[in-house]
Amino acid sequence: MTSNRTRHSVLIGIAGGTGAGKTLVASSIAEELKGESVLVLEQDSYYKDLRHIPLGERETRNYDHPDAFDRDLLRSHLVALLEGREVDTPVYDRKTHTRETETRRVKPVRVVVLDGILILEDPALRQLLDIKIYIDADADIRFIRRLKRDLAERGRTLDGVIRQYESTVRPMHQQYVEPSKQYADVVIPGGGYNAVAIDLITTKIRALLLQPAAR
């Protein structure tokens, strides 16, 4: 839990491996919190811009390592939102591995839900989170979901998805993502389809929103 800041909003972090169901949990929390202003941010939006690297080389980069993300920018934006200030978040193109020239203006809201594979890996980021969630799912289920998503939405080839999974996704999950589970306040098994867990989390969020701001 965070403490030494004025509480303008509640920050929820949802971590877990690729295809675990993080987006499902984030959208379910937003749906349950009807009546509250909720913003869902994706850690993926903060991938570093690789436009200075040839496209062929971008395809071979490790996008599952902590250094692939602009962590300083993400943390500064979260701090600003928690302090009640607007930010211009990056818009990332996963097909070209570059940032768009335009940004997304985001206003502070009551509940910010941050979704990403390495949310709990970063100690400085963990300090900002009011609730830390880890979504647990079997590796084969996660791989199948990623395969379907990358083929349908991200213009990837079957061989490319398999090669990336074997070379970076799986080893980085074992080295960074899975160990970060120890920092979670709540571990949701079953890949995100857990109505009881969602209900408990939203109840806790509502309780936090009723607490007076820190002085």
- Mind listing the pLDDT tens digit of every residue in the chain (215 residues)? 444 445 568 999 999 999 999 999 999 999 999 878 999 999 999 999 999 999 888 888 999 999 999 999 999 999 999 999 999 999 999 888 999 999 999 999 999 999 999 999 999 999 999 999 999 989 998 999 989 988 888 778 899 889 989 999 999 999 999 999 999 999 998 766 888 999 999 999 999 888 765 53
pLDDT at 86 (0 to 100): 96
Tell me phi and psi for residue 133, to 5 degrees.
-120, 140
Give the pLDDT confidence score for residue 3 in this predicted structure.
44
Q: Is the dihedral of CA 144, 150, 152, 158 positive or negative?
A: negative
Count other C-beta atoms under 10 Å from residue 203's C-beta.
10
8 A C-beta contact, residue 77 and residue 32 = no
Strands 87-93 and 186-189: unpaired
What pLDDT score does 212 carry? Answer: 64
What domains can you pick out in the chain, each with its CATH number?
10-197 (3.40.50.300)
pTM reported for the whole predicted model: 0.89
Give the model's pLDDT for residue 192. 66
Residue 2's pLDDT is what?
44
How confident is the model at residue 156, as a pLDDT? 82
Closest to 8 measured CA to CA, from 201, 212, 203: 212
